[in-house]
Every structure is written in structure tokens, then in C-alpha cells.
Structure 1
Amino acid sequence: MTSADLLTGSWAPDQDTIDAANLTRFLAWLADTGRGQFDDYHALWTASVADLEWFWEAVWTFFDVAAETAPTATLASTEMPGAQWFPGATLNYVTQAFRHATDARPAMVAAGEDGSTEWSWARLRAETAAFAAYLRSVGVGPGDRVVGYLPNVGEAVVAFLGAASVGATWAVCNQDLAVSGVVARLGQLEPKVLVASDGSVYAGKSRARHAEIDEIRSALTTLTATVVVPRLGEPVEGAVTWAEVLERGAGAELDVTAVAFDHPLWVLFSSGTTGTPKGIVHGHGGVLLEQLKYLTLQLDLTPEDRFLWQSSTSWMMWNMLVSGLLVGATIVLYDGSPTYGRTDYLWQVAAEHGVTVLGAGAGYWLACAKEELHPGRDHSLAALRTIGSTGSPLPASGFRWLQEGIGRPVPVFSMSGGTDVVTAFIGGCPLVPIRAGELNVVCLGVQAEAWVDGRPVVNEAGELVITQPMPSMPVFFWNDDDGEKYRAAYFDKYPGVWCHGDWITVTDRNSVVVHGRSDATLNRGGVRMGSAEVYDAVEGMPEIQDCLVVGVELPDGGYWMPLFVACADGEHLGDELRSRIVAAIRAGASPRHVPDDVIEVSGIPRTMTGKRLEIPIKRILLGAKPFDVLTPSAVDRPELLAEFEGHART
């Protein structure tokens, strides 16, 4: 890789990278076992979607999945929804999580603004066994629900593993979510046990959560026990302490209950911006296979890695981070603000703990780029070998800044998937070059295409669809007995085909550009354009803190495309800045993307996982009342919505 490559943000693997890659080992294994010989990644991908049974049987065998009962088939039915994967198999996610336990390196590092602790594999196993024994002692077994109100601490991982090991189903909410939002999610599950932290530490402040815990306990009427984790060391009346749980289960062996392949492992929740959050249920086996595949073959994670993805417990990336245990990596949990004290604080955490694979939302990388930070100069990042990005499209400028900021060739693997499948449809591959602004491959076993009017297109923007089943597609939605909500979420537009709601371009190089949500796509004169192109042009401007663009179909048949901007501290939108914004969009996107109005607001509200509220804001601009289209607990700053209501055109 040359200095010119650093400036363009591109990356290409050298021979050492190719030789050391897990995927190279997988290709050699396929050849050695007579399963096939493939010259490159695309040839392997083509085979993986041409014969799903062949590919997923190979994944099962390559990873030597530990099953108590062997499956009778690989894929008994390909119908979507309702595909039947590995019927007859019984296993447990937790078994795989401890298969690589070793004294040579820790299982976890629990880092926070107030210090860090290394967890040995022995400690993780002992506490998981103790918590599982406690759950069984209070009557929790297969099919019951155990829920958490927890920040990103080591005990959250233990509580999940303990619940899964007894066959219970896990769900968790981070403590930045309002009580009403917690109850709207966890209350659906009628849980038996709540695990809650007495508080959290964020942005330099300790936040006690006693009142919130009391409210949650009162609302969750099915609870038989509450266990409190001492993040701040403050007791909660009427609850069992974590220390008591460990004392009761001291010396217990980890007893893992084998369950069916599609037995519910956890429930993740939709954002809930427009109603009750949907409970998305994933099975043990599907999660196990998909995350083994993605982390090992796409992200190239190894047992020697230290893996940190900045996330709250409410985001699916926390689940992906925890799954680093499946491959034996040391997972680094970070409980705190990534910008504690200064924007580059997350880089300091990565340096202090020797992180080798570092991931975050695209918004964080862009915030660093805007300040023109130099993490490679200012922090000891010699161990770092891979960057991950997700949450929203990472523009080409973000790729370029990461290469320049680190100052040496490090692959930037952007990924696109979602809570729906708790994995990626499109992501990275260490054998394939990366071009800035593009995701370099469609993931193995994923038949992802861009569709226009029901047909696949190349080098043209279209709807992201998945035409064949994946093991980690939801088993079902919670409280959706007839499957109507599930079908409506993905299969209404194209029956039997998963329509994800993203707008993408598949290039003739087999890479992918993600333009944003398809239901928020801009449509000027019948030409559909991605909002991501506008954000790419504007977000790099130092005067702009955040922005949001929508296209509004007006009742009189007109079309209004406003751009809302929140200015950086000390900046305000004047004629000169407005002109430069328009010029940047015209040059960086196209004249069609130039907004009709540029409007200053004090902030851009987002979901609790950082996504822009394009569709709800569009409805507010058409005259809807904010809390008729949005649930306040699902928005990070609901007080900002009134500003958009003031710009409504009815």
C-alpha cells in the first residue's frame, strides 16, 4: 500500500495478510476435504449461495459445532419465512463460548472511565456456573425469560451466558433508556428474573438507578427475583446482590442444557420509534453459525485478538461483541462515553488494552475526522490491525480519514446488516481490496441483491433484498402468534423474498454502496437518490455538527426537500455558510441533491442506537404530531422534535 492509497482510503491485502487469513485456511480445508477448490472469494461466494446446504454443512463441520444430538439434515425447507435449519440438532451457544478457554489470555477486559478489570476464562466460567445454578434454584428453566437493565459490564455477559446455559431466553436494555422504554420492551416477555446494575458511570458522572429499578420492578409483575450488580456499590432494598449469587453457587460446575437448534436464545428489539418495539427472537443455532462465520471468515477474528466494538447493551453490536468468545478472542467491553474528556478517548482505551480489532458506529469515526485527529500519532496503536464500522453508511471521506489518521495500511471493514438477523448481509473480507465508500463483499451464504421493479440490477441503485434464507433470520416475533407482523416487516413487498428496507448499488466488481434507508430515499423528478450522498457532502464541514435531509411529497402534488443542520458550537447558519453547503452538495453529490431549503435547528434527534429519524420527521413535516408518530422513549432527545413541528407544511 502506497502513500497515495492512504490519501484515497483504498486498501489491498499483502501476501502476508492473505496467507494468515482465516478464510485462506477455510479455502484450503475445503480443497483438502474434497468439498471444492475456489480461485477467489467471489467464486466461493457464488458456490455458497448456489448450494446453501453444501455451504452451511461445511461451516458446521469446519467449526466442529458441538451438538449433543446431530441434525438429520442441513436445510429441510427453504421457505421464507419458516426455513427449517438443522432439524433434530440439539446444542447450546454457551458450549461453544467456552470451547477456547485458556490460561494464556483473558476472556474479557471490562474497561470503563473509572478503571478496568481483566476477567480470566476461569472467572468467567465460575461466575456463569454460579449464576446458572442460582437461576435453577429460583425455578428458571428452558423457555423462561431472564432480562437485564445493565450497562456494558462483565456481569452483563455472565448474566446472558448463565441464562442461555439453562435454556432461558435473554433480553437486555441499557440504562440510558427511559423506564417507559425499558418496560415497553422487557414487559412483553413476562420475565422471571431481572438483573440490574445499581447505576452507571458515563461522561464523568455517576448515575444511581435505584428509583428506575424500583419502577421497573413494579411494572414487571411476573418477576420472582431481582439481582443487583454493584457498579456504584450502593445496595438496592429487597434485591439479591451479585455477591450473594456467587456465594450461593460457589464451586458449581457449569451445567449446560442442550436445546433445539431454533430454541430462543435472546430477544432483540426494534427501535420502537413508531409504536411498541417489536421483539425479534433469534435461535441458538442460527446465531452460533452466522456469528462464527462472520467473525471468523469475514472480520478475520482469531483467538489472539483483542476485540472491542463500542456499543451499548441495547444495540445488536453488543451481541456481536460478546460472540467474540465463540472464536476464543478476548473481548474488550467499554462502559462509558467514547468521547470522555475528548473526542479521541476511545482510541486511548484501544491503545491501553492492546486492541487489535476496533469497531464503532460510523458517526464516531466521522466525529474524529471532523476534528482532524491523529490517533496513530497520539496513541500507541501498534497492535491495531483492523477497523470496523456500522450503524450508518461510512462515506468515502471516513475511509480516507481512518487511513490518514492511523497513518498505515489498516483495512476498514464497513458492514451492513441489522438487529433483524444480528449479523451482516454485506461486510468485509481480508482477501479482497477495499475501495473507499464501498463495502467490499456480500457475505458468504447471503444471496443479497439490488432490485428495481422485482428484478436484480448491477451498477444501479435498488432495494436490498435477500432471496434465500439465512440461519439467523428471526425464529419469530414476540407476541406474533400468527406471524403476521413478521411477514409484514419483510415479505409484504415481494412475497417469499426478504425486503430489508435499504437502498444499495451492487457494482460490477461485486462490491456494494449503501445509500441509506429505501423508505427515506429522495425522489426528485422520478430520480431516486440516497440521503447518504448529502450527508457525505455536508458532514465533513467543520461548521456542521449534524444534519438531516428528507423529501416531502406535499398535498398539492409538490415536492419539498429541506436540509436541517445543527451547527457546531459557536457557529450559526448565515448566507455564506448556506452557500458553501449548497456548493458542497452540488460538487460532492449532484445538482439534483441540492435542497430546497437549508434550515438551522439546535440538534438532530436520533434513535437510541444513533440512527436518523428520517421517516418520522417527514411525517411531522406533513402535519403529524410528534408523539403520534414517535415514542418518546425511543428518541435520544425528544425535546428537539418541536422545532421540526414548527416547519410543518400542511
Structure 2
Amino acid sequence: MTQSPIPEPIWRPNPADLVTATISRFTSNVAERTGLEFDNYQDLWAWSVEHLEEFWATVWDFFGIQADGEPTPVLADDKMPGARWFPRVRLNYAEHALRHGADPATVDTVAVTAVGEDGVVTRTTWGELRAQVGALAGWLRGAGVRPGDRVVGYLPNTAPTLVAFLATASIGAIWSACAQDYSGRGAAARFAQLEPVVLFAADGYLWNGRPHDRRGEVAELQRALPTLRATVHVPNLGLDGNSAKDPAESTLSARTAGSREVMWEQATGTPANPVFERVGFDAPLWVLFSSGTTGLPKGIVHGHGGVLLEHSKMLGLHLDLRPNRPLFWYTTTNWMMWNIVASGLLVGAPVVLYDGSPGYPAPDRLWRIAAEERVSALGLSPGYLLASAQADLAPGRDLDLGALRTIGATGAPVSSASYHWVREHVGAHVQLSSTTGGTDVVSGFAGSAPSTSVWAGEISAPALGVALAAWDSAGHPLVGEVGELVVTRPMPSMPVRFWNDPTGERYHEAYFSTYPGVWRHGDWMLTTRHGSVVVSGRSDSTLNRHGVRLGSADIYAVLDRIPEIRESLVIGAELTDGDYWLVVFVTMAEGVELTETLIADVKSAIRSGASPRHVPDDVIAVPAIPHTRTGKKLEVPVKRIIQGHSLEKVASREAVDDFEALTHFRTYRRTLPVSVGEDHR
């Protein structure tokens, strides 16, 4: 049987750019060390996972990791979970993030640019950043904070947040952050688990041109954290840090017994050279939290060394970032992408922070920031790309994006249409890098590099050092067929542990209970003959009709091309007696109604563009589509609501961007046997 030809890429590497790409120098370095030749990225990737220890040793040397002790063995134990990396070294993440500020050649160049929604731009040089971090680290030490203590931030995406994180890391304490769109109660559901000793809290934030005073929420958060020794108030809106809208709820009146109230200016008022506490490779750097749609969000602990190595590789080799190549990724402080932006400093890249609505005052706001700041790598959500197309934007025509090399997109599959839109309306020179990964590893499993081609609707390749595969239920690898996304060998940034999981049972259950010793991520994935990756959604929300599986991404790719539909949510729900309800919920473009004719068009488009077996039973217009606060559609919670589970059991109010949108789906509950054991009210 003749195989179909490999499809034509929509983007190919520019040979002239490859000559100076960091990954080219790295490949030459590997060739010199091993005596091997690498004809392409796939050859390098195969070597990186087959010779895992040698690969990470080369990354260590290439990026000049500074540490006490010997960086051997690289991998003392390769079992999963429980892999032990570089057991003899001591290092510090913040030392690497700030070392460019110790160089006289770069000390006066800009390290951080913070853009406010109101248009105010502040710039911090490398020297100023080191001095601020040193000052705050000195204050933290004076407040009794020691390695292993927890410091938390209820903060927006601004420069003080970055300073607070780096100061915390520099002394070996553990950082965790939460954006201020969470209520005080929602933040406490995360932070109280950590028993923090210091809280950094801003007075509020701007969104869509309107200030949001959060002083009352700060007071509520303080009351929920009895272990606090101090609260540092960070001015953002310029409000009085010691008075809320309701005087009875002022932060001073809400003090925890024995805790101090300090203003940011006091804590950072004495510039100093930072002093770095070198800690073990696996010493906790930060705790990131899962979206927590049900139950308490789980705290995922990552180590100094694992993050340092993984992010140096990803940002240096895959995104080709370096000094004079700014990184701007639109994010909030509670999404893992904030942590990756902070890590741009590891490779000397200036970072751009933006706190505000991506659509204010106009839908091209993020594109304008990218142009004004001469951004090299721009991170956007797939939804923002679609919204830009729907708004008829032409950033490449209207703005100077000559410095832009890469657009990163993650959080959901990127539609094929977006690849074409970027090529036609942003620039044919720009590489659209769709990435799949997760908070779990605070990195990517697959993405792009300057040396990889791009195919519309596909992720270019597995990431270096990531032994990625698609497996069937029996644990056999698949090519050209959809299977479970697995990682068969350890990654340095896999969690050190879950917080409050002393036996490791929750950690094991989350990733290793399906395939012993192999990481199962919970996504459906396909690897193509030409080495690319297609992720089609969560494996626990897969559309399984008559035994034929299809990822929701395949249907979204069709619906995204229908201009009358603003957004969609596809659900396949198993019901009583083997019934199966496949439904597409849609929100309509302004001024458009969902008519019978349009419903027929939607079904026809899915039949021809996705699968004739997955034509929906119903297409229903709803007021809004609910998401997690990091922008992921709530497919599984909506599915469970339809199946009769109680709203309180399927989703936490604090984890959802629009809880009222979620409550609307109770209208569509279907009958299930009482034996499911849930409250069906």
C-alpha cells in the first residue's frame, strides 16, 4: 500500500537565521563531544532521549550552570516517580536569573519592562533589578525568613511581583503566587495549605479601564492565614495600603496576631547586592497549583535545579532567546506561563510584563505592545489569535513587527486557520509555535525550534530531552493513530512532590497509575510520519461514539472557521442504558441568531470537516462558555453536570472565570441511575 506524501509545511526554517541560532551552536557542541553527525532536528531529539544523561550534561555545560559540588552523576536514579538528578550539587535559580546584572557590559541595559493597562511603562535595568532583589532579600532575612519557609504573593503581573519572587528564591525560601481576580477565599484555598510566613499583596488592579480595589480581599486572605509573620503591601492602584473600602475590613484591623504590616517602599528601601543561598538540586523553588475545578487545588512542587535546566533549554534552544531578544507572553501570575516569562532572565532575555485586558482599549493591544517593545518571542492564547482574525486585524500591515521571530501559543489546540492567518496577516517570516505541556512539569512536552518546520494544525516536534510517545491501552506505541500522551523517561522538571502528600500516593495516582513507571498526562495525542504531534484534547473528555474516538479539538477546528459562531464547547456524555448525547454549545457573534439553517450548516461542516460519526445530536446557543482562570474550556465539569452530578461537586467557584455561565448548564441535565451516588438537586 502506497503511503500518502508528507504534507507541505506552512513554514520552513530560514537557512540564514539557522547559522546564528543557539540550537545550531548547541548541535555543533554535541557533535564535538560525541563525534556524531546530526542531519536534522529529529536526529538531535532521538539522541537526546536515548542518551538522556549526556544530553542534560551538555545542557549544563552549554548554559554555564554555576553550582557547588560535582555535576555527576547526572541521573542517580531514573525510576518514575522518584528520579534523582544531580544529587551532589547545590545551586540557586535566582543566582542564574540575575547574573547578567553583574556584568558591567549589561548592568545598565533594560531587564524588565512593565506595561500597565493605563499605558504607563516602567523599565528596570539589570543593575536596578539586582539591587531591588538584594534589598528585599535582606528585609526577608531580617524578618526571620529562612530556606524552606513559604512566601506568597496575591499580586498582578507587575515588576514588584518578579522582584518578590527572585528575592524569595535567592534565600532558598519557597514562592507561590495567585492573581487578584481570585477572591481572598479563592487565594486562601491555595495559600493556606502552605502555611506561609510572609504575604505580598497589592491594593488592586486595572481591568478593561476600571480599577478593582482588592484591599478587602487582602484582609480576608490575611484572616485565613494564621501563620503570617508579616504582610508587605504593594501599591499598584495608588490606594492607601492600610484602608479598605469598608473601614471595618481594613488590612490593619485584620492583622494576624504577631504579624507586621510593611509597605513595599520600606522593604525595598536599602539597595544591596543580592546574596544567594545555594540549595540542593531538588530543593523546592515554587509551588504551582492545579486549576482546582474540584476539591482543593493540588500544590505541585518544582525544584531549583529542574526548573533552571528545563527553562534554559526551552527558552534558549527552542525559543532562541538571548540578550536583546525580548520575551512577552500574555499571562497572569497564577498561570505557569508567568513562571516561564520570569525564566527569560536565565538566558539574558529582557522580559515584558503586561497587566490588564488583552482587548483594552482595542483588540490589537498585545500586538501593539509587541511592536513597541521590539519583542522577539510573543506568547498568545489560541483564543486571542482567533479573536484577532475575527476582528479583521492585520498586525503585520499596521505595525512594525520586524523584530518578531516566534509566536508561541498554548493552553488549547491551535486551529489550522490560525496558522494561515498568522502567515497572511502577521508575517511569513514568523514561526507559529504551538506548544503542549502543563503546570505539572512547568514546561512543554512538544513545540518548535528554529530548526523545525511547521505544519498547519500540528505541533512541530517533541521537545529535546522529552521521551514523548502515544500509547494504546496495552502500552504499545502508536504512529498515525491517536493514543495516550506518555513520557517514558524522566524530565528534570517533573514535580519533586505534591504538597501535603507525604507518602507520594496522590502524585503516583495522578500520573503513574495507568502505566507503571511511565508518565501518563491525560491527553490524546497522535504522532505523524513526519515527526510532528497533534494533541486532540483531554483523554477524559474524548468524544467516543460507537467506539470511535475523536478529540474535541478536531471539531473546534471546524467550528472556528464559521464566522457566525464566536466560541463553542463540544460535549459527549454517556447517559443511562448506553445512551450517548453529543452536543455542541455555541455563543453567537454579535447580532447573529442560531437558526435551523445555521444548525444544519454546523452539522454539515462537522460531517465533512471532522467526522460523519461525530455529527452532534444538538447544537444549542448559550449565553457564555465557562473556562478555568487560565482559559481552558471546562469540558469535563460541563459533561458531569449534564450527567447529573451536583454543581458543587464538579467545580469550585474560585477556579472558574464565569461561574454563572457554568450554572446555566444545569438546564441540560440528563437522567442517570441513582447509583452514581451524587446529589442530583
With the length of structure 2 as denominator, give the TM-score of the two structures. Answer: 0.93
Mapped pair 1:544 → 2:565: yes
1:225-273: CA deviation from partner (whole Å, max 9, x where unpaired): 00011101122224311111122xx142211000000000000000100
**Aligned residue number for residue 677 of structure 2:** none
Deviation at residue 34 of structure 1 after TM alignment? 4.2
What is the one-letter code of the residue matched to 1:275?
G
1:319-338 matched pairs, under 5 angstroms: 319-338=339-358
More displaced stretch, 616-625 vs 65-74? 65-74
Q: Which whole-Å deviations, capped at 9, do the CAs of 1:285-332 have from their partners, x for residues lacking one?
A: 000000000111111112120110000001000000110000000000
Which secondary structure does the structure 2 equivalent of 1:155 belong to?
helix
Q: Secondary structure at the match of 2:359?
A: coil
Shift of 1:495: 1.1
Contact map agreement 1:338 1:346 (CA 8 A) in 2: yes
Q: Which of residues 121, 138, 152 is equivalent to 2:157?
A: 152
2:117 to 104, 113, 119: 113
Distance (Å, rounded) in 2 between the aligned partners of 1:123 and 1:105: 10
Q: Does the 8 Å CA contact 2:467/2:488 hold for their aligned counterparts?
A: yes
Measure the CA separation in 2 of the matches of 1:109 and 1:647. Answer: 47
Distance 1:176 1:31 in 2: 49
Matches for 1:171-210 after TM superposition, within 5 Å:
171-210=176-215
Offset at 1:69? 2.4
Partner of 1:243: 265
Asked whether the 8 Å contact 1:69–1:91 carries over to 2, the reply is no
Unmatched tracts of structure 2, length 5 or more: 1-7, 243-251, 253-260, 672-681
How far apart are the structure 2 equivalents of 1:341 and 1:564? 29
| Residue number in structure 1 paired with 2:676 | none
Residue 4 of structure 1: aligned partner: none
* Whole-angstrom CA distance in 1 between matches of 2:117 and 2:398: 19
Paired amino acid for 1:362: P
Structure 2 CA distance for aligned equivalents of residues 129 and 269 of structure 1: 27
Q: Which residue of 1 aligns with 2:239?
A: 234
Q: 1:252 aligned to 266, 272, 282, which one?
A: 272
Matches of 1:60 and 1:385 in 2, distance apart?
A: 26
Measure, in 1, the Cα distance between the counterparts of 2:55 and 2:347. 19
CA distance in 1, matches of 2:363, 2:602: 24
- Provide the residue aligned with 1:297 in structure 2: 317
1:491-534 Cα shifts (integer Å, max 9, x gaps)? 11111110001111100111101111111110111111010011
> Which consecutive aligned stretches of 4+ in structure 1 deviate over 6 angstroms post-superposition?
none
State the Cα deviation string for residues 609-630 of structure 1 (Å, max 9, x = none). Answer: 0111111111100111212211
- Equivalent positions of 1:367-406 (< 5 A) are 367-406=387-426
Give the structure 2 partner of residue 622 of structure 1.
643
Matches within 5 A, 1:30-429: 30-34=30-34, 36-101=36-101, 102-103=106-107, 105-114=109-118, 115-237=120-242, 238=252, 239-247=261-269, 250-429=270-449
| Residues 580-634 of structure 1 deviation map (CA, whole Å, 9 limit, x = unaligned) | 2112212221212211100111001110101111111111001112122111110
Determine whether 1:608 maps to 2:618.
no
Which residue pairs with 1:457 in the alignment?
Answer: 478
In structure 2, what is the Cα distance between the partners aligned to 1:34 and 1:456? 28
C-alpha distance in structure 2 between counterparts of 1:251 and 1:646, whole Å:
58
1:14 Cα deviation from its structure 2 partner: 1.7
Give 5+ residue unaligned stretches, structure 1: 1-7
Q: What SS is found at the alignment partner of 1:468?
A: coil
Shift of 1:636: 0.6
Partner SS, residue 494 of structure 1: coil
1:430 corresponds in structure 2 to 450
User: Which of 535, 552, 555 pairs up with 2:556?
Assistant: 535
Structure-2 residue corresponding to 1:639? 660
Q: Distance in 2 between matches of 1:297 and 1:517?
A: 28
Displacement of 1:62 in angstroms is: 1.1
Which amino acid is 2:75 matched to? L
Q: Conserved in 1, the CA contact under 8 Å of 2:415 and 2:560?
A: no
Separation in 1 of the partners of 2:457 and 2:301? Answer: 32
Give the AA of the match of 1:425.
Answer: F
> What is the match of residue 258 of structure 2?
none
Describe the SS at the equivalent of 1:107.
strand
- Maintained 8 Å contact 2:18/2:24: yes
1:392-424, CA deviations, whole angstroms, 9 ceiling, x for partnerless residues? 000111111111111332111111000000000
- CA offset digits 1:15-54 (Å, max 9, x no partner): 1121121110001112234464322211111111112111
Q: Distance in 2 between matches of 1:147 and 1:157?
A: 12
Cα distance between partner residues in 1 of 2:31 and 2:646? 60
CA contact (8 A) 1:9 1:399 kept: no
Does the residue aligned with 1:561 lie in a helix, a strand or coil?
strand
Q: 1:643 to 1:143 in 2, by over 3 A?
A: same
Q: Does 1:497 align with 2:501?
A: no
For 1:62, give the aligned amino acid: F
Q: Partners of 1:251 and 1:199 in 2: how far apart?
A: 26
What is the letter of the counterpart of residue 174 of structure 2?
Answer: T
SS at match of 1:598: strand
| Aligned counterparts of 1:621 and 1:242: Cα–Cα separation in 2 | 48
User: 2:28 aligns to what?
Assistant: 28
> Which AA in structure 1 matches 2:189?
A
- Per the TM alignment, residue 9 of structure 1 is displaced from its structure 2 partner at its CA by 7.6
Q: Counterparts of 1:373 and 1:582 in 2: how far apart (Å)? A: 29
Q: With structure 1 as the length reference, what TM-score do the two structures score?
A: 0.97
For the 8 Å contact 1:273–1:631, the answer to whether it is kept is yes
Counterpart AA for 1:531: S
Partner Cα distance (2:456, 2:14) in 1: 18
Alpha carbons 1:9, 1:400 under 8 Å: kept? no
Give the Cα–Cα distance (whole angstroms) in 1 for the partners of residues 234 and 606 of structure 2: 49
Is the 8 Å Cα contact of residues 100 and 107 (structure 2) preserved in structure 1? no
Is 1:557 the counterpart of 2:557 in the alignment?
Answer: no
Equivalent AA in structure 1 for residue 128 of structure 2: R
| Distance (whole Å) between structure 1 residues aligned to residue 591 and residue 526 of structure 2 | 38
Across the aligned residues of Structure 1 and Structure 2, the Cα RMSD in angstroms comes to 1.3
2:248 paired residue number: none
Amino acid at match of 2:264: W
Structure 2 counterpart of 1:185, one-letter code: R
Distance (whole Å) between structure 1 residues aligned to residue 33 and residue 428 of structure 2: 38
Q: Distance in 2 between matches of 1:380 and 1:304?
A: 17
Q: What is the aligned partner in structure 2 of residue 587 from structure 1?
A: 608
**2:675 — aligned with what?**
none
- For the Cα contact (< 8 Å) 1:41–1:431, is it kept in 2? yes
Stretch of structure 1 that moved more, 68-77 or 119-128: 68-77
Residue 678 of structure 2 aligns with which residue?
A: none
**Which letter maps to 1:252?**
A
Residue pair 1:280, 1:474 contacting (<8 A) in 2 also: yes
In the alignment of these two chains, the number of paired residues is 642
Cα distance 1:255–1:35, how it changes in 2: closer, same or farther (>3 A)?
farther
1:5 alignment partner in structure 2: none
CA deviations on 1:166-211 (whole Å, 9 max, x unpaired) are: 1000000000112221000011000000001111111111111110
Question: 2-side partners of 1:372 and 1:195: how far apart?
Answer: 41
Whether 1:516 aligns to 2:520 is no
CA contact (8 A) 2:329 2:380 kept: yes
Q: Which amino acid aligns with 1:287?
A: V
Per-residue CA distance 1:366-406 (angstroms, 9 max, x = gap): 11122231111122212111111101000111111111111
